[in-house]
Structure 1
């Protein structure tokens, strides 16, 4: 267990807590957290997870910008004070599309990592990479389904990180699983409120 893993763990919990509350400060906290975890995963030879942190960095920056920008008026003019982005849901076709694309990308990336690197658990690591990117993108777009994605990723990640002796990180992802459930409940309430239910 390194100081980077400890700091990344603490910032990860704070960042997800802020996301559950739909607080824009979750994005800059997340940026620092993923920078720390890029090093942790590189040292553990979980190369897909290390690469994932670089993608997370970019998506975190986008999410921060997107949430700060807010919604546009009906005429397409940006308001002087941005309105909070509402939580929305994908249609079933969108959900199935993301799952299908994720499965293909996981198989392709996992096989590439198996053949070309000394990656530990390349296919499981690829699953975490691909489906985390999908969940992070959906979160940046404020789609309710991001939390279901995070729940699934967290279950896989707990096993992978435990197997690689990253016990604190496995514990973090157990906490993340609980937080993903809480995030789903909170965002579902927000969606119901915005729809007037």
Structure 2
């Protein structure tokens, strides 16, 4: 059996529960990507893309004939969205790092207008996607799947733009994502979502601290006290 076949078929048996190793590995890549994002490292993007590719096959259980025949279309669809937006973020951070400052991204607050648009986007996107996902046969409660999808889209885009608030969007995604994944039988992902939650809260405070240091440095330079 070659490594690709092993990765696709390997399973972990815990009691009566069967968990795919690619679900565990895909989520591990996601956590590693979150750590890289917290440290503002460009490699966070390609690592995240690798995890997204694995998880896409996991959340279409009925399509790929996995032990858990449940389709979470929002979860599966967001992996494709992640890959697309991550390519954008990868390019954005790479360009910034190649500048004279050699910094991948400078954390900053989004404008009040952007915050309002993000909030409206979360609600409107969920309302629009819920009936679509339901018609396609996604797992109930479908609104939760839609919420996770649109929240993930906005959070990933916010990370690419360097908005410190993107971490808080991830918190909103995780709060809904954990109970949905448990009810759908994706226990490994649910457990790892709990770790995601810890990372997102930590990441928010780290980015906020970096942002404050950057603001203080600019203030000292402007006042000639650097």
Q: TM-score, normalised by structure 1?
A: 0.91
> Is the Cα–Cα contact under 8 Å of residues 24 and 67 in structure 1 kept in the other structure?
yes
- Report the counterpart of residue 27 of structure 1 in structure 2: 45
2:121 aligned residue (101, 104, 108): 101
> Is the Cα–Cα contact under 8 Å of residues 105 and 130 in structure 1 kept in the other structure?
yes
> Is the Cα–Cα contact under 8 Å of residues 63 and 140 in structure 1 kept in the other structure?
yes
> Is the Cα–Cα contact under 8 Å of residues 164 and 208 in structure 2 kept in the other structure?
yes
Q: Does 1:10 align with 2:36?
A: no
**Residue deviations 1:24-63, cap 9 Å, x none?**
1111100000111111111130012111110100111111
- Give ranges in structure 2 of 5+ residues lacking alignment: 1-18, 62-69, 218-226
Residues 82-97 of structure 1 correspond to what in structure 2 (within 5 A)? 82-97=102-117
Q: TM-score, normalised by structure 2?
A: 0.80
Report the number of matched residues: 190
1:151 aligned residue (149, 158, 171): 171
- Report the counterpart of residue 70 of structure 1 in structure 2: 96
- Give ranges in structure 1 of 5+ residues lacking alignment: 72-77
Q: Does 1:52 align with 2:78?
A: yes
Q: Does 1:180 align with 2:200?
A: yes
Residue 10 of structure 1 and its aligned partner are, at CA, apart by 1.5
> Is the Cα–Cα contact under 8 Å of residues 23 and 54 in structure 2 kept in the other structure?
yes
**Residue deviations 1:148-196, cap 9 Å, x none?**
0001101110011011111110011000000001100110011001101
Residue 80 of structure 1 and its aligned partner are, at CA, apart by 6.2
> Is the Cα–Cα contact under 8 Å of residues 102 and 130 in structure 1 kept in the other structure?
yes
> Is the Cα–Cα contact under 8 Å of residues 40 and 105 in structure 2 kept in the other structure?
no
2:191 aligned residue (141, 166, 171): 171
> Is the Cα–Cα contact under 8 Å of residues 23 and 58 in structure 2 kept in the other structure?
yes
> Which one is further off, 26-35 or 36-45?
36-45
SS of 2:201's equivalent?
helix
> Is the Cα–Cα contact under 8 Å of residues 69 and 82 in structure 1 kept in the other structure?
no
Paired with 1:79 and 1:12, the residues of 2 have a C-alpha distance of 27
SS of 1:196's equivalent?
helix
> Which one is further off, 144-153 or 4-13?
4-13
> Is the Cα–Cα contact under 8 Å of residues 167 and 204 in structure 2 kept in the other structure?
yes
Paired with 2:103 and 2:37, the residues of 1 have a C-alpha distance of 17
